[in-house]
Each structure stands twice: as C-alpha cells, then as structure tokens.
Amino acid sequence: MTFTFELLATDPSGARAGRLHTDHGMVETPIFMPVGTQATVKAMTPGELQSIHAQIILNNTYHLFLRPGHALIKQLGGVHRFMNWDRPILTDSGGYQIFSLGKMCQIREEGALFQSHIDGSKHFLSPEVAIQVQEHLGSDIMMQLDECPAADASREQVKRAVELSLRWGERCKQAQSGTGQALFGIMQGGIDEELRRKSASGLVSMGFDGYAIGGLSVGESRENMLQVLRYAPGLLPVDKPRYLMGVGKPVDLVDAVGLGVDMFDCVLPTRNARNGQLFTSRGPFNIKRSENRDHPGPIDEECPCETCRCYSRAYLRHLFINKEILGVRLLTFHNLSFYMGLMRQMREAIFAGNFAEFRDTFYKKLLRNE
Amino acid sequence: MTFTFELLATDPSGARAGRLHTDHGMVETPIFMPVGTQATVKAMTPGELQSIHAQIILNNTYHLFLRPGHALIKQLGGVHRFMNWDRPILTDSGGYQIFSLGKMCQIREEGALFQSHIDGSKHFLSPEVAIQVQEHLGSDIMMQLDECPAADASREQVKRAVELSLRWGERCKQAQSGTGQALFGIMQGGIDEELRRKSASGLVSMGFDGYAIGGLSVGESRENMLQVLRYAPGLLPVDKPRYLMGVGKPVDLVDAVGLGVDMFDCVLPTRNARNGQLFTSRGPFNIKRSENRDHPGPIDEECPCETCRCYSRAYLRHLFINKEILGVRLLTFHNLSFYMGLMRQMREAIFAGNFAEFRDTFYKKLLRNE
C-alpha cells in the first residue's frame, strides 16, 4: 500500500489543502478530476490534460467493464498504459451507472443484476466483481460498490441503501487482493443527518484509505446539498481525503471546498463544452449566441488558456455552429482549464489562509455579471 | 507581389524539388496541402499541423463565402488570423464546390448562379467575385474561377469549359486589386490532349504565378488520369509551380511527383481517418477490423508519429468504435503525418537524384503486403 494523504494546511474557513501520494505520483488537494468515462477525457489528449495541470482523472468502471472489457485492458497492461496517461487514476465502482444507465437493474444482497445499455446483454456486479474489475484496470484509487438512491427515495429506501452499502463496503475491503491500490468507502444517507451519521460511523470503523460523500447531486436542491455538506465532512476522519462525488458547478466547488471537501469529479466542464456552454470568471456563457458572431475577443479576458490566447469568440462560434471537431476541442480545453485554474486558486488561498476572502471575491464577480 | 518559385533540383525521372516563397513563409515542394475546408483542418489544431511539418494548407472559398462570410473574416483580420495559422494558405475559387455541392447551378458567361447547400439562399459567383472573396480572405495563393466538367462530359462540353475557363482566367487576372497575393491559372481539357494543349497555351500566354491541372480526379479511371499526367505538366512553364488539384492517394502522389507535379491537395487523409481508414507504409488499413481488438502494437511500426508512438491499435479501435473524438483526432493525426512524411521522403529522393529507386521501393512494399 503506497497510498497516503498529507494534510498540509487548514484555512480558518475549514477549507483544507493537502497531497495524495500514489504509485503514479502526487496530487495536490483540493483537486478536480476530469471525467474520462471510456478511458478518454472526451476530446482531450493526455498531453493536453497535463498542459492544463490535470493531476488525476476518473475512469468509469461500468463503461470499461462493458467495452472493451477489463480483462482486455489488464492484458494490455492496465488502463494507464491503455490510454497513455501515467498520472493517477480513480475508478468508480460501476454502481452508479448500473442504476442510472443500465436496464432492468435488480439489486440483491449479493449484488446487482443488470442489462447493458449498449446491447442488452446481462451482467452481474457484486462488491467482489467491482474490486476485481478495478484491480484489472489498475487504477490508483478504487471505489467501493454502493447503492445510491435518487433524491425522491423514501427514508426507508435510503436507510436500506445505507445499510447495504456498509455491508458491500466491508465485502469490498475483504475482496482486495493486495495490489496496493487504495480503496475509498462511500457515505450514503441522502439528506437525512441521522442516516449520514450512521453511514459515516460504519465506514470509519472499517477504515478506508479515503471517504466519499455519495448520494448528492442526484436531484436534490442546492440548499439541501449544502445542508448535508455543512456536517458530512466533519463526520469523516481529518487525516483522510474526502471526495464529493459527481459535483459540480464552479460555485459548488467553491462552497464544498470551504466546507472541507478535498476531491471532486463532474462531467459538466466536458459535457457543457460539447453543448457550447462555457465557464468563465464572470459566470456561464454560450458561444452560440449571435452577439459572438463578429466578436474579436476571447471567451474570457482573464483566462490564460490557449483557447483564450489564440482564438476569437467569432472563430469559436463559427467552428461550433459548423460542428467542427476543433470547436469542441477548444471549448473543452477552455472549460477544463477554467476548472483547473479555479482549484489552483483555491489551493493558494488556503495556503495563504484567506479562503473566505477568495470566496467573497469569486461570488462578487459572478453577481456583478449576472 | 512577393510570391516566387525556386526550382532547386530535377531528378532524372522528371520529379522536381523547389521552394515557394510567400508572405507567410517558405514551402518546400513537392508538397501536400491538408484541406481546411471551413478554416480548420478537421480535428487538428494549427499547432498540431506545425508539429507534423504541414507547410501550407488549403481553405475552401465556397464554404467560407457562405459561412461565416468573407466580409466578416476580412473584418477580423483575414483567414490566417481567424484560424490562428500563420503559414501559407491557398484558397480555391469556389467553382468546384458550386458545381458539386451547390443546388440549381446555372453557368453563364458572366458567372455562376447557385443556391447554398446549407439554406438554399441564392448567390452569384463571377471571376471578379471569386477574386474579391479570396482577397478578403487574404490567402497567399488564389485560384482562378474555372469550370470543371465531370468525367462523363462530352468533348463539346469539355471544349466549352476550356474556353470559358480561359476567359474567366483573364477576368480573374484583371480583377486583382494589387494585394500581392499570387494567382494560379487552372488547366482544363478532360482527358483530351488537344484540349489540354489549348488550355495550357492559353493560360501560359496570359502568365500566371503558377498553374493547376484541374479536371482530374473527377471520376475518370486512374489510367486515364496518368495518361494526362504524362504530358500535361510538360505543357506548363518549367519555372512555375504545378498543382494537381484534388489528388489523391499515396500512389497517385508518388506517380504524379514522378511526372513533374509540385503541389497537391486532397481530403482523403482527413476524411478517411474519420471513417477509420488509415494509410500506412504497407497500404491502407481499417482500424475497425476485429483483429485489432487486442492488438498491442501501433498502426504502422515504421511510423514515427505520436499516434503510432503512444497508442495501440486496440485503444484506437476502442476509441473509434465508441465514437470518441480522441479517436478521430489520433487517426487524422496519423494519416496527415503519413502524407507529410511521404512528401518529405520524395523531396529527399529528388535531391539525392534517386527518385525512381524510391518509387520502386514504395511500390514493392505495397505489393508485398497486398
């Protein structure tokens, strides 16, 4: 086991800065992990990801399990080599995608039966299979299999999911074969504090290398999410990384870092880029808008990324409207650059001990441009 | 006028090596020009094009005329600045696309009336408009407006096209406003030697900065094309560049260079990449084929490009089958690298005076792998 977490600074606000150490190098936290669903961060090369200082990416176990298959990726030397990315990789367990993408999913004590969203073929995912698949992929950080109820689930359903997820967490721990990959537990409990406490204490008593806050960003209101985040990180050990799964918008990242979260992943910067939606220091922005037709300036005057240094809004709009691949490339590059830059600014603010000030400035700039 | 052509070497075979000098730098001939239809070479950044030693690209006047419009590109500083490419650019006249893509095209002495393939809007393209549009775009090399008949046109139709193209060539010359951009004439005549001679002598007597061989690669047989290429380059001045429009496959480039052609453009390397078709030193190759599913090796063992250095066929097939943008990017990068490498090898062979030997080796390798 070579995975460790170093907590280096805690801002008066509660925001934390630290380092993850893995077999594939070091990661500065708080960190945003670009999503590389099918062993590729859509439209980006590994070299481009490095150029914008991406330090760790996420791969989706569900997709790689179905295509091209974990056995093939293992045979080809693991997912790092497969996709030519030699920095850290976190894999999810596949559970979330089974529930959201798979068809006919049946959850039992033993595991989950589901049909592929691609060809309808039947598959079974248990805690043991989830670990085996992630060990074959060879990620640096594995996630336990959990059950993630939707925001409209009843308290009874959420309670059952908490309990099942704890049992599955224990089975994931037992299923590890000593590859040295880290394993994170996942807290569930919806927006119910008692269930969150139960989930956290169960996980912590088992002892994981890190802890995720799951079951958020599943349809609940932003206020409900923040309400959970006001206490949930505090239920987890100070000396382990805390990962808020599937979140989120820039404002969510800023708020959650302020509440003590260390790690994030989200498809928004990549997916929105493919829809022409850009993130900027003045808030969101749509490249398709007609006022960009002849605009000679960049997406964001303050952004130092190559897209903003080299290309006008007029050109980017032209590419996007004509469905040119380069358009999606350059917009994705900008959005991920923006996210990476935002995380870097937050780390600097935490080390400087002025995170609250950073957050105020960030919000003021957004509000001024609304 | 700052455009000049330097002929540096002529191989015993007839193959020529030289240099084009333009306001945006020097181009080594024989050269292949990647096609950047909508002011982007599909899926590639300018930086990537430079990294594979692309020296000049082609933009399609027809597409830029319709979207985003030449006036807008002029207002934004010209097409070099628009697309962030500071090396030479050749623009075609738009004529070929009007005939092949436009609807309801009516050719008159004055010019061509056509409807946009995008929205059906009506437009008029004359020699004078073609020059004005290309001057607004600010390309380094402009092409005259010509009429390019299909391979099944009658001799009478081809003859009328030769005569009309000569009159339009003269009008293009007259329409230039002294921007310093080069202007190439275009030889027509189908596969009829007498008409080709008539076309060439008419153009040469007007005097252009370079000469294109048009009206090939329009549906005629490869043997018919080669038959024309055995005499057509010799009808043109030795001290001017010769550009074979819209050609072609690697074998076509090798044959045509051997017959004294200096410049080429073709959508094959970029378009075929988007269909999973790759060019290699052993001939064409389809990444989708099932035997690539678990192949750990590169597309082409002999290829030094980044795609071949860093990615397995198994990964490239995975990306392609999953319609990942990175797949198209990496395949396009390989195909263009292959074309650029082939042209470089030909230039070196010409300077070494052993082009015929190069051509023999090239063909033997292809045949061995058929």
Q: pLDDT per residue over A4-46, tens digit each?
A: 999 999 999 999 999 999 999 999 999 999 999 999 999 999 9
Q: Is A43 on the interface with B (CB under 8 A)?
A: yes
- Average pLDDT score over residue span B65-77: 97
Q: Which of B73, B116, B325 is best to mutate for the A interface (most A CBs within 10 A)?
A: B325
Q: What is the dihedral of CA A89, A93, A94, A100, to 10 degrees?
A: -110
What pLDDT is stored for residue B360 in this prediction? Answer: 97
- Average pLDDT score over residue span A358-364: 96
What pLDDT is stored for residue B104 in this prediction? Answer: 81
The predicted-structure confidence for B111-128, as pLDDT tens digits, reads as follows: 999 999 899 999 999 999
Cα separation of A148 and A218, whole Å?
9
The predicted-structure confidence for A259-307, as pLDDT tens digits, reads as follows: 999 999 999 999 999 999 999 999 999 999 999 999 999 999 999 999 9
Name the pLDDT band for B302 (thresholds 50, 70, 90). Answer: very high
B265 near B57, Cβ under 8 Å?
Answer: no
The predicted-structure confidence for A171-195, as pLDDT tens digits, reads as follows: 999 999 999 999 999 999 999 999 9
- Is residue B1's pLDDT more than 70? no
A60 near A94, Cβ under 8 Å?
Answer: yes
Name the pLDDT band for A370 (thresholds 50, 70, 90). Answer: low
What pLDDT is stored for residue B280 in this prediction? Answer: 96
- Average pLDDT score over residue span B294-307: 97
DSSP B90: E
What pLDDT is stored for residue B103 in this prediction? Answer: 72
Cα separation of A299 and B362, whole Å?
47
Cα separation of A258 and A241, whole Å?
14
Q: Taking all residues of chain A, what is their mean pLDDT, rounded to a whole number?
A: 96
Cα separation of A146 and A136, whole Å?
19
The predicted-structure confidence for B168-212, as pLDDT tens digits, reads as follows: 999 999 999 999 999 999 999 999 999 999 999 999 999 999 999
Pairing of strands A112-115, A122-125: antiparallel
CA A98 to chain B, closest CA, distance in angstroms equals 18
Bridge-partner residues for A106, per DSSP?
A113
Contact A318 B38 (CB under 8 A): yes
Q: Provide CB contacts within 8 A for B219, sequence distance 6+.
A: B150, B151, B152
Structure tokens at A231: 């206490």
Bridge-partner residues for B122, per DSSP?
B115
B237 near B211, Cβ under 8 Å?
Answer: yes
Q: Assign residue B219 a region (left: φ > 0; alpha: ψ between -120 and 50; beta: otherwise).
A: left
What pLDDT is stored for residue B2 in this prediction? Answer: 84
3-state secondary structure of B359: helix
CA B180 to chain A, closest CA, distance in angstroms equals 25
Q: Is A244 on the interface with B (CB under 8 A)?
A: no
What pLDDT is stored for residue B111 in this prediction? Answer: 96
Q: Taking all residues of chain B, what is their mean pLDDT, rounded to a whole number?
A: 96
What pLDDT is stored for residue A346 in this prediction? Answer: 98
Q: Is A304 on the interface with B (CB under 8 A)?
A: no
Contact A67 B38 (CB under 8 A): no
B-chain residues near A327 (CB < 8 A)? 40
A-chain residues near B325 (CB < 8 A)? 42-43, 325, 328-329
3-state secondary structure of B219: coil
Neighbours of A15 (CB within 10 A): 26
* Pick from A113-117, A330-334, B297-301: least confident: A113-117
What pLDDT is stored for residue A4 in this prediction? Answer: 98
Q: Is A321 on the interface with B (CB under 8 A)?
A: yes
- Please give the positions of A annotated as active site: 92, 265
A-chain residues near B40 (CB < 8 A)? 319, 324, 326-327
What pLDDT is stored for residue B370 in this prediction? Answer: 66
- Is residue A1's pLDDT more than 70? no
Q: Is B122 on the interface with A (CB under 8 A)?
A: no
The predicted-structure confidence for B96-109, as pLDDT tens digits, reads as follows: 888 888 778 899 99
Minimal-distance CA residue of chain B relative to A309 = B84
CA A79 to chain B, closest CA, distance in angstroms equals 10
B-chain residues near A40 (CB < 8 A)? 319, 324, 326-327
CA distances from B353 to B104, B349, B356, B357 (A): 50, 6, 8, 9
- Average pLDDT score over residue span A129-157: 96
The predicted-structure confidence for A220-267, as pLDDT tens digits, reads as follows: 999 999 999 999 999 999 999 999 999 999 999 999 999 999 999 999
Sign of CA dihedral A323, A327, A329, A331: negative
Name the nearest CA neighbour of A258 among A12, A35, A68: A12
Q: Is A314 on the interface with B (CB under 8 A)?
A: yes
Pairing of strands B112-115, B122-125: antiparallel
Q: Which of B45, B305, B330, B336 is best to mutate for the A interface (most A CBs within 10 A)?
A: B45
The predicted-structure confidence for B127-138, as pLDDT tens digits, reads as follows: 999 999 999 999
Report the share of chain A in percent with pLDDT over 90.
Answer: 94
Q: Is B67 on the interface with A (CB under 8 A)?
A: yes
Q: What is the DSSP string of B229-272?
A: HHHTGGGS-TTS-EEETT---HHHHHHHHHTT--EEE-SHHHHH
- Average pLDDT score over residue span A349-354: 97
- Is residue A102's pLDDT more than 80? no
The predicted-structure confidence for B318-369, as pLDDT tens digits, reads as follows: 999 999 999 999 999 999 999 999 999 999 999 999 999 999 999 999 888 7
- Is residue A364's pLDDT more than 80? yes
Neighbours of B57 (CB within 10 A): 25
The architecture in CATH of the region A4-266 reads Alpha-Beta Barrel (3.20)
- Average pLDDT score over residue span B142-164: 96
* ipTM exceeding 0.85, yes/no: yes
CA B329 to chain centroid = 20
Minimal-distance CA residue of chain A relative to B36 = A324
* Domain map (residue ranges) of chain A: 4-266, 268-370
Of B43, B293, B322, the CB nearest to A326: B43
Cα separation of A64 and B121, whole Å?
47
Q: Is A290 on the interface with B (CB under 8 A)?
A: no
Helix axis angle for A325-352 and A313-321, nearest 10°, is 130
A-chain residues near B44 (CB < 8 A)? 326
Contact A42 B324 (CB under 8 A): yes
Cα separation of B222 and A351, whole Å?
69
CA B27 to chain A, closest CA, distance in angstroms equals 24
What pLDDT is stored for residue A238 in this prediction? Answer: 98
What pLDDT is stored for residue A103 in this prediction? Answer: 72
- Is residue B32's pLDDT more than 90? yes
Chain B 170-199, residues with CB within 8 Å of chain A CB atoms:
none
Minimal-distance CA residue of chain A relative to B71 = A294
- Average pLDDT score over residue span B18-29: 98
Q: What are the backbone angles phi and psi of residue A367, rounded to the nearest 5°?
A: -65, -35
